[in-house]
Amino acid sequence: AQKVTQAQTEISVVEKEDVTLDCVYETRDTTYYLFWYKQPPSGELVFLIRRNSFDEQNEISGRYSWNFQKSTSSFNFTITASQVVDSAVYFCALSEGTGRRALTFGSGTRLQVQP
Amino acid sequence: EAGVTQFPSHSVIEKGQTVTLRCDPISGHDNLYWYRRVMGKEIKFLLHFVKESKQDESGMPNNRFLAERTGGTYSTLKVQPAELEDSGVYFCASSQGLGVGYNEQFFGPGTRLTVL
């Protein structure tokens, strides 16, 4: 069965620090998708990124970057020069198969960025 | 284009009462999913509709939960009778029914349920 582990329950940093959120996943499928979502205090889930299992290329989007390593079953998320607006709960998720199955979420990491 | 909407945004009920949550997916989306986040834990899958049929209901916790999707449009999730442990945020998501490639799930804002 699939599983997503986010070992960091809560992280607190000071503005402008870099922070990495860890995500480790388990799956028996060779085809799967990985995601990161952000849940700000307002409560909605904001999609950040999707990666498929055949694309290990790292991605950078502004201050956000993602490191996907199949060898360690990890999909880590780094925020560079963190800002107060980055404060939120961040969820890593996995969807097995070719794209219509439900998402399996990790327990989330609460990030607090202090001014 | 309107996104996924959920009603109500917040519901406070007493233990033993009944509550019905509603989700309106994006128009034309065949797939509809219910998830919930309880007590600050992970977001857990409840069930998946394809049009009006239940494709996967393996995540439904017990028979106090009843989900319907009449006519393949909006969906309701009824909790009867509600228990304290049902408190949490219930999310709905929808995606298209395209045959090839990943079908992006778009999430609604969630319904926060508080059972006293």
Identify the three-state secondary structure at position B108.
coil
Q: Which residues of B touch A108 (CB under 8 A)?
A: 40, 42-43
B43 touches chain A (CB under 8 A): yes
Cis peptide preceding A40, ω within 30 of 0: no
CB B81 within 8 A of CB B17: yes
Spell out where A53-106 has E strands.
59-61, 64-69, 74-79, 88-96, 104-105
pLDDT digits (tens, 9 = 90+) for A37-50: 999 988 889 889 98
Identify the three-state secondary structure at position B84.
helix
DSSP string, A18-48: -EEE--EEE-S-SSEEEEEEEE-TT---EEE
**Paired residues of A79 in beta bridges:** A19, A64
B35, B42, B107 ranked by CB distance to A106: nearest: B42
A-to-B residue pairs, Cβ atoms closer than 8 angstroms: 60
- Residue B102 to residue A13: CA distance in whole angstroms: 35
How is residue A38 written in tokens?
């952000």
CA dihedral B63, B73, A47, A6 (to 10 degrees): 10
Residue tagged 């393996």 (tokens): B58
Question: How close is the nearest chain B Cα to the Cα of A106, in Å?
Answer: 6
Q: Is A75 exposed, middle or buried (0-12, 13-18, 19+ CB in 10 A)?
A: buried
Element (H, E) at A103: none
Q: Is A89 exposed, middle or buried (0-12, 13-18, 19+ CB in 10 A)?
A: buried
Per-residue pLDDT, B75: 98
pLDDT digits (tens, 9 = 90+) for B45-77: 999 999 999 999 999 999 999 999 988 899 999
Please determine, for residue B84, whether its predicted confidence score (pLDDT) is greater than 90: yes
B41, B42, B103 ranked by CB distance to A100: nearest: B103
How is residue B15 written in tokens?
């233990």
* Residue closest to A112 by CA, chosen among A12, A14, A41: A12
Give φ, ψ of A27 to 5 degrees.
-160, 150
pLDDT digits (tens, 9 = 90+) for B10-59: 999 999 999 999 999 999 899 999 999 987 788 999 999 999 999 999 99
pLDDT digits (tens, 9 = 90+) for A78-107: 999 999 999 999 999 999 887 678 899 999
- Residue B73 to residue B29: CA distance in whole angstroms: 8
Question: How close is the nearest chain A Cα to the Cα of B69, in Å?
Answer: 17
Q: Which residues of B touch A37 (CB under 8 A)?
A: 107
* Contact at CB, B102 and A99, closer than 8 angstroms: yes
How is residue B47 written in tokens?
């069930």
Please determine, for residue B100, whether its predicted confidence score (pLDDT) is greater than 80: no
